[in-house]
Chain A
Amino acid sequence: MSARFIAPVLMGIFMLVLWEGLVRAMAIPPYILPGPILVAKTLVSDWGTLWPALVVTLTITLQALLAAVLVGGALALLFSLSRWIELSLFPYAIILQVTPIVAIAPLIIAWVDDVDVSLLICAWLVAFFPILSNTVLGLRSVDRNLLDLFELYGASRWRTLLELRLPAALPYFLGGLRISGGLALIGAVVAEFVAGSGGRASGLAYRILESGYQLKIPRMFAALVLISAAGIAIYLLLSLISHLLLRRWHESALGEER
């Protein structure tokens, strides 16, 4: 706890002080680079606009993550049940993954009437792959000897899935989930950027664009801080969930000594 916690906090404080000091010493105007104190003040004074924007972006993020869990998990199960389905679908999942979201987002936004739904689709597209590929890997890396044991014990396919494959894949799934959480936020923000003024003009990314046009640079920074904070919060939350689910038995969550 101690060094792991204190070291980054000290580093952060040092960087903030350095930033504030430089801004003051060099008399950098706030529309070029606002100091951290000004950003913090803006965060408080503009909370009325920023908070609803954060809620909008987080809602899309969490919905996309949920959809990614459902679709990614279901596809992974399907793939583990049928080699044919996997062989025919997995390449397309990869194509979706490697195509930059900024390139597809305008199409999706143009094709789907409801802006919220199109943002959701974009964020989901970015987020679902780590869950899919990790879960497929987990379902497949079950110890062969354990599968043999289950066969000798006369376990049905369904029992084997429930009692062996799913628990064994859980750590992999949770690893994918942690990556997807951050990606869902990035996807949501990127999609909002692309949608721009054509969107519902409400998410954090839109607030950043808007502040840019209006040269309200401190507010832009405040919105950035909120996005980062949201990303960190999502990561910590998913790590906590993962820890709670695995702490009893998985190596990753066990203490170092036996």
Chain B
Amino acid sequence: MVSSPALSVRSAHIVLDGHVVAENLSLEFPGGRTTCLLGRSGVGKTSLLRHLAGLLPGTAPAGPVAYMAQRDLLLPWLSVLDNVRLGHRLRGDAAARHAAGPRARALLAEVGLGHHLDALPQTLSGGMRQRAALARTLCEDRQIVLMDEPFGHLDAVTRFDLQDLAARLLRGRTVVMVTHDPLEALRLGHEIRILSGTPFVPGPVIAPSGAVPRDPADPELLALQARLIGELRTGG
């Protein structure tokens, strides 16, 4: 596998309609690792991801990225399978699209939607839709993956399983994952940054030991979780 590139933000200004989200922001996201961004809602996590994806005016993506938005953004008129293959479908390359079929099916099976390939999105629950969106993001097979609260709508057990799945499938890629759940960040992140303030400033790198996905019963993790929650409360 080609080694995944690092991502960096240098002296960026993120301004939305006059609202300054970040000023003179510099951040490094190491290549091939997962960085989790924690922060209260409204701090600017989504804006930072959109900046990285090149979706804000005056920005360009660092390369081909897979982006999983906060909302599932499934097309209501396409089946689950076609939604997962959407990228290939849109690039209009018949061969690639054909090749994407088995991959999309396998991914859907792994996220537990193997029996819903032909279902339309609105027949699925919120959690199932989010799983379909996750499968779509992973189906893109990009070296850079940006995810905005990817497990937000899942029940605790499913969330746990999918965190394991994501950790496995995202291994070796450069991942920036936004979450509001400290434990999730601790399970999946090689590095964790807390964003706080208006305009936000990133806190120092927190790098728990051990390989991901980490065991949530690990006392070190639980101690770190208490620390993160404390920092989130005072930092907001």
Q: Which residues in A have some Cβ–Cβ distance to B below 8 Å?
A: 143, 145-146, 148-156, 159, 163-164, 167, 248-251, 254, 258
| Interface residues of A, dominant DSSP | helix
Interchain CB contact under 8 A, B86 and A153: yes
Specify the chain B residue showing the minimal Cβ separation from A254: B122
Specify the chain B residue showing the minimal Cβ separation from A163: B90
Interchain CB contact under 8 A, B69 and A149: yes
Interface residues on B, range: 20 to 34
- Name B58-90 residues within 8 Å CB distance of A: 61, 64-65, 67, 69, 71, 73, 75-77, 86-87, 89-90
A145, A249, A251, most chain B CB atoms within 10 A: A249
Residues of A within 8 A of B69 (CB): 145, 148-149
Interchain CA distance A159-B88 in the complex, whole Å? 12
| Interface residues of B, dominant DSSP | loop
Interface residue B120 (Cβ < 8 Å from any Cβ of A): yes
The residue that A146 contacts in the complex, of B50, B75, B122, with Cβ under 8 A, is: B75
Q: Produce 1/0 per residue, B110-140, CB < 8 A to A.
A: 0000000000111100000000000000001
Min CB gap A146→B, angstroms: 6
Interchain CB contact under 8 A, A154 and B73: no
Contact status of A145 and B92, CB under 8 A, knowing A152-B55, A152-B67: no
Interchain CB contact under 8 A, A163 and B89: yes
Interface residue B108 (Cβ < 8 Å from any Cβ of A): no
Interchain CB contact under 8 A, A155 and B90: yes
Residues of A within 8 A of B122 (CB): 249, 251, 254, 258
The residue that B90 contacts in the complex, of A145, A150, A254, A258, with Cβ under 8 A, is: A150
Contact status of A159 and B92, CB under 8 A, knowing A152-B67, A248-B77: yes
